[in-house]
Chain A
Amino acid sequence: MTTFVLLSITGLGLAALYFLVASGLSLIFGLMDVLNFAHGAFLTIGAYGTWWAAGNLPGAGSTGWGFVLAVAFGVGVGTLVAALIELLLIRPLYQRHIEQVLVTVGLSLALVALVRAVWGSDPRPFPRPEWAQGTTSVLGANVPNDRFLLIVSAVVVLVSVLAFLRFTRVGLIIRAGVENRTMVTALGIDVRKAFTLVFAIGGAFAALAGALGGIYLGSISPGQGTSLLIFAFIVVVIGGMSSITGTAAAAVLVGLVQQFANYYAASGVGDLSVVLLLAVVLLARPSGLSARLA
C-alpha cells in the first residue's frame, strides 16, 4: 500500500511537471497553430535563471522568500525571452508553418548551446529549500515534499488558466481565436496581441516547470528542457492538441503510467509505455482525449 501511495504521488508530481510544460505548448498551438520546438528552451532558461538568481541576485537565495524571489526571477526571464521571440521571430512567420518549425528548432538548439557555452555541459546541483528536502507521511508512505509543491503549483496554474480563459476578455478572444482567428480579426480585434500574451504565458509556465523541475530532479543541465519537451508533446497530443483540461488529464495519465511501469517492469519501460499509450489513444480517439480548449 505504501509503495502504491508513493508511486501515485510521485507519478502525479511528474504529471504536474509535464502539465506545466505542456499547457503552454497547448495554448500556443491552439491559438497560433505554432508547434513551438523552442518551448523546452524556456524551461532551461527558467531553471538556470532561478539557479543563477539563488546564488547571485541580491535578496534571493536557496531558502524561504529568497528562493521565491529566485524562482520569480527565473520565471520573469523565461517570460521575457518568450515574448521577445514571439515579437521578433514568430510574428513575421504567421501562417508559414515550415519556416516556424525551422526557426523554433534552430532556436532551441541555439539557446541550449548558449547555456552550455556559459555554464558548461555538466549538471549543476539545484538549490532546494529545506522544506522541499523533507518528507510527509501519507497513509504510511514517506512522500518527498517537492512532489506536493509540483502538484499544488500545477493545480494553481490549471485553475488560473481556466479562470483566465473563462472570465476575462482576453480569455474570450483566445477561446474564439482557437476556433476561428480570421473571424476574430473581422470583429475588429487585433489577435496578434493575444498571440504575444499566450506565448509569454506559455514561456512563464515552462520557466516555472524549469525551476520546480530543478527541485524535483535535484540538478539542472542544458538538455533538460529538450528531453522533457518530448513528453510534453506526447501529453499535448494525447490531451487533444488545444485543450487545457485534456492536457491536464493526459499529463496525469502519462505521469502515472510512466511511474508505475518504471517500478513494476524495469527502469526505462516507463518511457516505452508512454509511447504505447500515445499509440493506443490515437488509434481509439484520433483527436485526443478532448477537442475543446477549456
Chain B
Amino acid sequence: MSGQGGAPLLRMSDVHVRLSGSHILQGVDLTVRRGGVTALLGRNGAGKTTTVKAVLGLVPSTGVIELTGGDGRTERVDGRRTHEIVRRGIGYAPEDREVFAGLTVAENLALAERRGSDHHHDRVYELFPELQKRSRQLAGTLSGGQQQMVAIARLLLNDNQLLLIDEPTKGLAPLLVAEVADVLARAAEEVTILLVEQNLTVVQRMAQDAVVIDQGRVAWSGPADDLLTDADRTRELLGVAASGGGDHR
C-alpha cells in the first residue's frame, strides 16, 4: 500500500486463514509503515479481526508475515507462538476488550508488564486518572468505557513498536469515543498503530493510511484521505458514505 509514513514495519504477503472449513483470509497482502496510524476497514465479516489475529499467531495461517525491528532487521513471525511475537514489541487490544474480570485494575496492569520493557504506569495513570482511583476495583465491575481504558492502558504500559487495536470505540457513548480517540491520537505520536475501526469520524481524524478488506482480500489501500473524501468509493467499498464521519455500522 502507499502512504506517507516511513519504512515498512509490518508486511503480510499472500496470507490465508482457514477456520472450521471457511476460507476467511484469501491471500491478504498489506504493509503497515512505521509511524502514524493505518486504518483497517471493511464490512462486518470481511476479515479485519482475523487479519489482526493472524499477525499475532492467534489463528493458524499460511503466507509470509514479517516484522521489521527498530534496528532495521526484518524477520518472519508467521508460525511463531503468540507470546514470542508480542515480545517483539506488539501491543494488542481485542475487539471485546477482554480485560480479566476477576482481577483488579492494578492486577490487570501488573499482568501486562512485559519483561525487557520499561513500564510506564505514570503515563497510563496520567492518561486515565480514573484507573488510578479504581485500581483496587475488579475489572469485571467496571463500565464498558472504563474496561476499554484498561485495555488501552495495557497497550501503553510497555514500550511497543506496533499497536493492533480492534474496534476501540465499539459500543461506547459519543463522549467516550472522543476521549478514546484523543488518547490514541496521543499514543500515535510515539508508536505505529494498525486500527480496526468502523467509526469513520475516528478514522478520518487519526489515520494517514487505510486498507480495505473485502471477502478476505485487500480491496483497496492508500492514503486515508483519498478514500474518505471519495463518497462513491467509500460507498462502494464500505457500503456507507463518509459524510463528515459517523458510525457506518
Contacts and interface: CB of A to CB of B under 8 A. Distances in A.
Interface of A: 169, 172-173, 175-176, 178-180, 182-191, 292-293
17 contacts: A169-B110, A172-B111, A175-B107, A179-B102, A182-B58, A182-B82, A184-B111, A185-B86, A186-B86, A186-B94, A187-B154, A188-B115, A189-B83, A190-B81, A191-B83, A292-B102, A293-B102
Contacts of B56: 186
Given A172-B110, A186-B92, A180 B100 contact: yes
Interface in B217-234: none
A175 B112 contact: no
Given A172-B111, A186-B58, A187-B111, A179 B86 contact: no
B154 A172 contact: no
Contacts, number: 56
A179 B110 contact: no
Contacts of B112: 187
A183 B98 contact: yes
Interface in B150-165: 154
B83 A175 contact: no
The 6 closest A-B pairs by CB, nearest first: A188-B86, A185-B82, A183-B98, A176-B100, A188-B87, A188-B114
A293 B81 CA distance: 27
Secondary structure of the A contact surface, majority rule: helix
Given A186-B56, A186-B94, A175 B102 contact: yes
Contacts of A191: 83
A44 B87 CA distance: 41
B237 to A, nearest CB: 29
A91 to B, nearest CB: 12
A179 B104 CA distance: 13
Contacts of A187: 83, 86, 111-112, 114, 154
Contact of B107 (A172, A180, A190): A172
A189 B110 CA distance: 12
Interface string B159-174: 0000000000000000
Contacts of B82: 182, 185-186
B101 interface: yes
Given A176-B111, A188-B86, 5 more contacts: A175-B107, A180-B98, A180-B100, A188-B87, A190-B81
Interface residues of B, number: 21
Contacts of B98: 180, 183
A176 B102 CA distance: 8
Interface string B77-92: 0000111001100001
A158 B110 CA distance: 24
Residue with the greatest number of chain A CB neighbours at <10 A, chosen from B94, B98, B100 = B100
Contacts of A292: 102
B103 interface: yes
Residue with the greatest number of chain B CB neighbours at <10 A, chosen from A169, A173, A189, A191 = A189
Contacts of A183: 94, 98, 100
A173 B83 contact: no
Contacts of A189: 83, 111
B108 to A, nearest CB: 8
Contacts of A169: 110
Contacts of B111: 172-173, 176, 184, 187, 189
A33 B122 CA distance: 37
A182 B82 CA distance: 9
Nearest to B92: A186
A103 B2 CA distance: 52
Contacts of B100: 175-176, 179-180, 183
Contacts of B103: 172, 175-176, 179
A190 B111 CA distance: 12
B58 A190 contact: no
A226 B18 CA distance: 42
A245 to B, nearest CB: 13
A183 B56 CA distance: 11
Contacts of B154: 187
A186 B102 CA distance: 18
B151 to A, nearest CB: 10
Nearest to B160: A188
A49 to B, nearest CB: 35
Contacts of A178: 102
A172 B102 CA distance: 11
A164 B58 CA distance: 29
B5 to A, nearest CB: 25
B110 A190 contact: no
Contacts of B101: 179
